C-alpha cells in the first residue's frame, strides 16, 4: 500500500503522446472526466508532480509502470547553507547540461567531455551534501528513540 506522503516514480505517456518518467506524490484515484485532456470518463490518479509542485490528473491507462521510491515528501532537513549549496550546484549542473547538448549539436568532443566531467563532479558534491543531511536526520531520530 502507498502512503499519501510517499513519492512514486511513474513511466507515463501524456495526452500529447510524450512518454517520460515522473516523480509524483499520489493523493487519490477517481472515476471522472477532466477536460480538455481527459474528455471521457476514466480512472484518473490525482497527484502532485514533485518537480513542478503542481497538482495533476494522470490517466491510469497511460501509466506504464509504477515504482515506490520509499521516500517521503520533505524527508530531509536542510540548513539554509545546505539548501543554498544544493541550489547553486543544481544550477551548475543545469548549465553543464546545456553545454553538453550544445557540444552534441556542434560535434564538439572537448565541450562534451568538459561538461560531462563538470556534471560528475557536481553530482558528487550534491550526493555529499545530501548524505550529510540524511546522517544528521538519522542522528536526530536516534536521539528521540526511547
Among 92, 96, 85, 93, CA closest to 131: 85
CATH class for the region spanning 6-72? mainly beta
Which residues are CB-contacts of 130 (< 8 A; sequence separation ≥ 6)?
Answer: 76, 86
Distances, alpha carbon 97 to alpha carbons 22, 52, 67, 113, in Å: 19, 19, 26, 11
Going residue by residue through the chain, which has 146 residues, state the pLDDT in tens, using 9 for 90 and above: 555 568 889 999 998 999 999 999 898 889 988 777 777 899 999 999 888 888 999 999 999 999 888 766 555 567 788 878 888 888 888 888 888 888 888 888 888 888 888 888 888 888 888 788 777 766 766 666 56
d(C-alpha 119, C-alpha 100), whole Å: 9
Domain boundaries of the chain, sorted by first residue: 6-72, 80-144
Does this model's pTM top 0.75? My answer is no
DSSP 76: S
Amino acid at each position: 500500500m502507498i502512503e499519501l506522503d510517499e513519492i512514486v516514480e511513474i513511466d507515463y505517456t501524456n495526452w500529447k503522446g510524450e512518454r517520460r518518467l515522473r516523480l509524483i506524490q499520489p493523493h487519490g484515484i477517481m472515476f471522472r472526466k477532466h477536460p480538455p485532456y481527459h474528455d471521457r470518463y476514466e480512472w484518473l490518479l490525482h497527484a502532485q508532480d514533485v518537480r513542478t509542485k503542481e497538482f495533476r490528473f494522470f490517466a491510469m491507462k497511460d501509466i506504464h509502470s509504477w515504482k515506490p521510491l520509499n521516500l517521503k515528501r520533505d524527508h530531509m532537513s536542510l540548513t539554509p547553507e545546505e539548501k543554498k549549496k544544493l541550489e547553486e550546484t543544481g544550477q551548475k549542473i543545469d548549465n553543464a547540461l546545456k553545454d553538453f547538448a550544445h557540444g552534441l549539436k556542434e560535434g564538439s568532443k572537448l565541450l562534451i567531455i568538459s561538461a560531462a566531467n563538470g556534471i560528475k563532479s557536481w553530482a558528487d558534491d550534491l550526493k555529499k551534501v545530501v548524505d550529510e543531511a540524511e546522517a544528521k536526520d538519522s542522528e536526530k531520530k536516534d536521539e528521540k528513540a526511547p
